[in-house]
Amino acid sequence: MYDKSDPRSALAKAAPAAAPHTVYYPAEYGLFYKDPPQEAGPNGKTWYARGQNFIIAYTEAAPGAVFERKGQPDEYVAIIPNPETPVVATSGAQTETTDGYSLLILPPGDSRITLAKGGVIVRLFSPNTVDIAAKCSNAAAFAECHITVAPFKPWPAPKDGFKIRAYTLDVPDEPGRFGRIWRCTTMMVNYLAPQMGPRDITKLSPHHHDDFEQCSLALEGSFIHHLRWPWTVNMNQWREDEHAHVQSPSITVIPPPAIHTTRGMEPGLNQLVDIFAPPRLDFSMKPGWVLNAADYPMPDGE
């Protein structure tokens, strides 16, 4: 359910789920602003939390911090949310540099990210990154697969091969386009337009997803995530509504098929980033929505 001014109101209606879910799972939270980091050392402080199909590593990096991956099984993403955060990314003979406020896609294999001045970096991994999955504060919640979530399946490889790809986050809004969306083989990132002040409560967007999670990464401000699980014939399955007021930085993992909508609450800046793994087909089908669509082909038959 979307207000008519919301670009998502033009999305094709999803087909009804094949059958009602027989089990529900709770939302998961990574409250980086209050919980202790899972790692603290020369590179800075890092918090890890996950959904079934993605892993989030939020780091307050120290000057000169180096983040290295050896034998990475698939692509991963790095978000540099602040300007004046110089980053050097290397993989093989390739080197890419940015001044911050950017999104990087790193290839499988060996790679390195260096932050000369330190700063915030958020890395996004698939569940195939098992060494990082084990570090997550909520790893136990996903010791067994959540059967409401479709199994992780990567999208096709780029036609020009795997390499470092760097994109600026400084993309102006455009009428009819929802947020600022990039995708790769493993992830879709929607860096939503900054919201100044509390959200208009007459234009909320309660909706649900049949079989995929949504990760809402709060980078600035605070948010209330409203969640409601549909009633079923089995009352033992019912869950209480949640109205979780979270600050930044944090993640909220919204499970299917919970009905959800989110309100930014602060009088100043509220910045939210939505993350999906693998990429969403409905967003990808909308012309102009995925800013790097030319770099990554759609699945066969789409």
Residue whose tokens read 């930014």: 264
| pLDDT above 90 for 16 | no
Q: Specify the pTM.
A: 0.95
- String of b and e for 53-71 (b: at least 16 CB within 10 Å)? bbbbbbbbbeeebebebee
Helix (H, G, I), strand (E, B) or coil at 179: coil
Query: Stretch 95-104: mean pLDDT, rounded?
Result: 98
Return the percentage of the chain with pLDDT > 70, whole number.
96
Contact 257, 17 (CB under 8 A): yes
Q: For position 19, what pLDDT does the model report?
A: 63
CATH architecture of 7-291: Sandwich (2.60)
| pLDDT above 80 for 67 | yes
pLDDT one-digit tens code per residue, 214-249 = 999 999 999 999 999 999 999 999 999 999 999 999
